[in-house]
């Protein structure tokens, strides 16, 4: 039972028509929960995000889902998820860098994080929505970096709306194309591979940046 449920959640973008058939209106609640966890906790960035929104849009174009309920579930899940992640980061704050587990971090790392979000936090929160993995860590680091909450919330809301509407509508209008209807599984794999490629590129750039010696050294 539990393994089957986990499999459905992790691969919901590939099994979406079956999920809609089995769960009906509860499908929107499932969408909300998945996006909330995908954006709300740094340990769950592997949950489907972009691919789920895109395929859900395709299903809405084919009459399987209501696009307004769909957008509501995704936008609300994204906003509340980032909010939870922000407050978790805020609660940890500078104490995160003082624990034995995190002694690899120096005080200057915390200071850099704080200064970064003071200057570029808004753009980061907004643009991170469109980048897998980054959108999971950005709100947490915004909390750690003490970004002003009202400013964070404004970019959180605008980013959630822009991300949800653009990806869902992309899937919605693509879903009206005959070749997309007949090759939905292939399209899902393409979106997943594109997402994976983006994640690998981001990790590569992050490692390259971290290995670069600081000016003080």
pLDDT digit string (tens) for 40-54? 887 777 777 888 888
Residue 43: how many other CB atoms lie within 10 Å: 7
pLDDT digit string (tens) for 3-37? 454 555 556 656 777 778 888 888 899 899 989 99
pLDDT at res. 17: 74
> Helix 134-144 vs helix 26-40: angle between axes, to the nearest 10 degrees?
60
Contacts of 207 (CB under 8 A, 6+ apart): none
pLDDT at res. 217: 44
Residues 126 and 159 sit within 8 Å (Cβ to Cβ): yes
CA–CA separation, 85 and 102 (whole Å): 19
Contacts of 118 (CB under 8 A, 6+ apart): 145, 147
The mean per-residue pLDDT over the stretch 176-180 comes to 69
Highest mean pLDDT among 145-154, 174-183, 207-216: 145-154
The mean per-residue pLDDT over the stretch 59-67 comes to 88
pLDDT at res. 206: 55
Q: Where do the domains of the chain lie?
A: 2-211
């Amino acid at each position: 039972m539990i393994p089957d449920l986990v499999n459905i959640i992790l691969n919901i973008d590939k099994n979406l028509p079956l999920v809609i058939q089995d769960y009906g209106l509860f499908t929107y609640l499932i969408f909300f929960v998945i996006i909330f966890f995908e954006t709300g906790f740094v340990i769950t960035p592997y949950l489907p995000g972009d691919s789920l929104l895109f395929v859900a849009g395709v299903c809405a174009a084919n009459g399987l889902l209501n696009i307004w309920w769909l957008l509501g579930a995704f936008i609300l899940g994204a906003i509340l998820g980032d909010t939870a992640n922000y407050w978790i980061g805020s609660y940890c704050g500078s104490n995160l860098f003082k624990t034995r587990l995190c002694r690899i971090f120096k005080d200057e790392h915390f200071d850099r994080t704080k200064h970064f979000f003071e200057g570029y936090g808004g753009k980061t929160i907004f643009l991170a929505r469109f980048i897998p993995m980054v959108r999971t860590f950005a709100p947490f680091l915004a909390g750690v970096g003490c970004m002003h909450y009202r400013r964070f919330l404004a970019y959180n809301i605008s980013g959630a709306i822009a991300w949800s509407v653009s990806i869902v509508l992309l899937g919605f209008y693509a879903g009206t194309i005959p070749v997309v209807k007949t090759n939905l599984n292939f399209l899902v794999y393409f979106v997943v591979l594109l997402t994976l490629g983006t994640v690998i590129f981001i990790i590569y750039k992050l490692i390259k940046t971290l290995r670069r010696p600081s000016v003080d050294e």
